[in-house]
């Protein structure tokens, strides 16, 4: 009787091809995204006993764009007005808010003990043609700023008192031109905890920290929640007034790329003990927030986006289906694949081995990411749900941008070929 080579059996081939792909992917992610000991930044204590500060204290202008941020703006501005730093100002750009943001800012201006540091710039005119909202607000803020350094931060952030002196000290002592902090994500809700790890994986896969901080690598990224940049560098480059930056929805990444490409020193470090952020409240905000930039932020263009759409279910959903298939096989006692006579049949033992090989590296890497984000261990088993969520977000983001329907954010439309479509 002629022996049958198992490699000629397509069920076996597909199963083990998938196993090799999943194991290889998570090994690749581990090597690519986890920093070496030399690259792992030291975390600064929340209130260091002797905060390192430069000999000279250059003036810093903190610029906060705010549009309909009534749930965040008070906490943000109060934390900024209480920095352990001598010479700074806070410029809040109220970008046509229609909620209670303006009223809250008026209260802070009237009652906060350090309100002399606070200046509120109110934008009432319609957004100029060719500009996106945040770059326009930041540019307007820089025009009012007086500092030697500019700090761009978001209205949904909270800053420890040591954040500013620590950032200025590091940037000054290490001769950094643009310093950006990775921030502590506040994830109180179920959907926050489900979605953020996969978002983190996607970002670090395309923008690994070691490459960002390597001056020889073209990869550049900054976190728009905390960007400290020398004023002279910003002005020399033209800042957000440059035509290619005016309408970007990726203002942080594009500014970082410009800085690095122009030969200035860029560094992104771990600032989780110093700056917290509460990005999205609820599933709808998560969907809309990531939809606006998940396609535009892809480094590989359309081809890589299609690869992500095909690969995301393979590495986040299918591995969790294998134990389900094994359980169903034990219930039904029918062949998993192949012919009834046993030819090409995947045995339960073989499927069990494949399940173990896929889930061990997946869950180990997911657990590492969850620990980085302070998420409980059992959320590792929500990974398939996150895969389904981001598959939908990425597909819709891609379709809306390529079809000209555009994406919406804060009541404004971007990349819209037909202004009548809202």
pLDDT band at 47 (very low <50, low <70, confident <90, very high): very low
Q: Give me the phi and psi of 281, to 5 degrees please.
A: -110, 100
**Residues 223 and 181 sit within 8 Å (Cβ to Cβ):** yes
The CA-based angle 126-132-135, given to 5 degrees, is: 105
pLDDT band at 342 (very low <50, low <70, confident <90, very high): low
What lies within 8 Å, CB to CB, of 327 at 6+ separation is: none
Distance CA 8, CA 309 (A): 28
Is residue 26's pLDDT more than 50?
yes
SS3 for 59?
coil
How many residues belong to the chain? 422
Is residue 48's pLDDT more than 70?
no
Distance CA 103, CA 45 (A): 34
Strands (E) located in 67-165 = 88-95, 118-123, 149-153, 157-159
Is residue 4's pLDDT more than 60?
no
Mean pLDDT, residues 5-27:
81
**Residues 346 and 336 sit within 8 Å (Cβ to Cβ):** yes
Distance CA 173, CA 53 (A): 9
pLDDT at 331: 62
pLDDT at 328: 74
pLDDT band at 336 (very low <50, low <70, confident <90, very high): low
Mean pLDDT, residues 215-235:
97
- 302-325 pLDDT, tens digit per residue, is 888 999 999 999 999 999 998 888
pLDDT at 183: 95
Distance CA 276, CA 159 (A): 7
- Range scoring the smallest mean pLDDT among 126-140, 378-392, 397-411: 397-411
What percent of the chain clears pLDDT 90, i.e. is strictly above it? 71
Is residue 14's pLDDT more than 60?
yes
SS3 for 157?
strand
Structure letter (DSSP) for residue 241? G
More confident residue, 150 or 34: 150
Select the CATH number that applies to the domain covering 60-183+223-279 from these four: 3.90.550.10, 3.40.50.970, 3.30.499.10, 3.40.50.150. Answer: 3.90.550.10
**Residues 92 and 64 sit within 8 Å (Cβ to Cβ):** yes
Is residue 88's pLDDT more than 80?
yes
pLDDT band at 249 (very low <50, low <70, confident <90, very high): very high
pLDDT at 40: 42
Mean pLDDT, residues 199-212:
93
- 119-149 pLDDT, tens digit per residue, is 999 998 888 999 999 999 999 999 999 999 9
**Residues 271 and 222 sit within 8 Å (Cβ to Cβ):** no
Give the chain's mean pLDDT: 88
Residue boundaries of the structural domains of the chain: 7-30+301-414, 60-183+223-279
Which two three-digit tokens encode residue 321? 């289906």
- 271-300 pLDDT, tens digit per residue, is 999 999 999 989 999 999 999 989 988 887
pLDDT at 38: 42
Distance CA 236, CA 234 (A): 6
Is residue 369's pLDDT more than 80?
yes
Mean pLDDT, residues 188-196:
96
């Amino acid at each position: 009787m002629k022996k049958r080579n198992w490699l000629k059996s397509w069920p076996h081939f597909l199963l083990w091809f998938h196993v090799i792909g999943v194991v290889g992917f998570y090994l690749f992610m581990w090597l690519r995204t986890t920093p070496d000991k030399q690259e792992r930044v030291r975390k600064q204590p929340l209130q260091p006993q002797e905060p390192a500060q430069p000999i000279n204290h250059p003036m810093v202008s903190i610029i906060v764009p705010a549009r309909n941020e009534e749930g965040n703006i008070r906490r943000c501005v109060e934390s900024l007005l209480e920095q352990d730093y001598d010479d700074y100002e806070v410029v809040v750009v109220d970008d046509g808010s229609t909620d209670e943001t303006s009223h809250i800012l008026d209260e802070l201006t009237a009652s906060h003990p350090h309100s002399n540091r606070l200046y509120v710039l109110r934008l009432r005119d319609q957004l100029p043609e060719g500009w996106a909202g945040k770059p326009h607000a930041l540019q307007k803020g820089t025009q009012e700023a007086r500092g030697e350094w500019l700090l761009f931060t978001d209205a949904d952030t909270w800053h420890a008192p040591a954040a500013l002196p620590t950032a200025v000290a590091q940037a000054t002592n290490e001769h950094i031109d643009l310093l950006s902090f990775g921030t502590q994500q506040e994830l109180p809700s179920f959907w926050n905890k489900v979605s953020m790890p996969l978002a983190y994986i996607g970002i670090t896969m395309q923008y690994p920290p070691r490459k960002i901080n390597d001056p020889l690598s073209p990869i550049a990224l900054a976190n728009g929640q905390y960007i400290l940049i020398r004023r002279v560098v910003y002005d020399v480059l033209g800042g957000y007034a440059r035509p290619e930056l005016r309408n970007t929805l990726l203002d942080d990444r594009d500014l970082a790329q410009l800085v690095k490409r122009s030969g200035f020193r860029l560094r992104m470090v771990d600032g989780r003990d110093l700056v917290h952020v509460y990005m999205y409240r609820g599933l709808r905000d998560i969907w809309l927030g990531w939809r606006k930039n998940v396609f535009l932020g892809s480094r590989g263009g359309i081809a890589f986006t299609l690869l992500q759409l095909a690969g995301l279910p393979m590495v986040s959903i299918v591995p969790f289906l294998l134990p389900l298939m094994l359980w169903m096989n034990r219930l039904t006692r029918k062949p998993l694949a192949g012919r009834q006579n046993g030819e090409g049949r995947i045995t339960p033992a073989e499927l069990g081995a494949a399940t173990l090989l896929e889930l061990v590296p997946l869950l180990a890497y997911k657990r590492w990411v969850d620990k980085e984000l302070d998420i409980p261990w059992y959320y590792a088993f929500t990974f398939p749900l996150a895969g389904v969520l981001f598959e939908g977000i990425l597909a819709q983001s891609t379709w809306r941008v390529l079809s000209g329907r555009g994406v919406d954010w804060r009541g404004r439309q971007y990349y819209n070929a037909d202004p009548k479509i809202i």
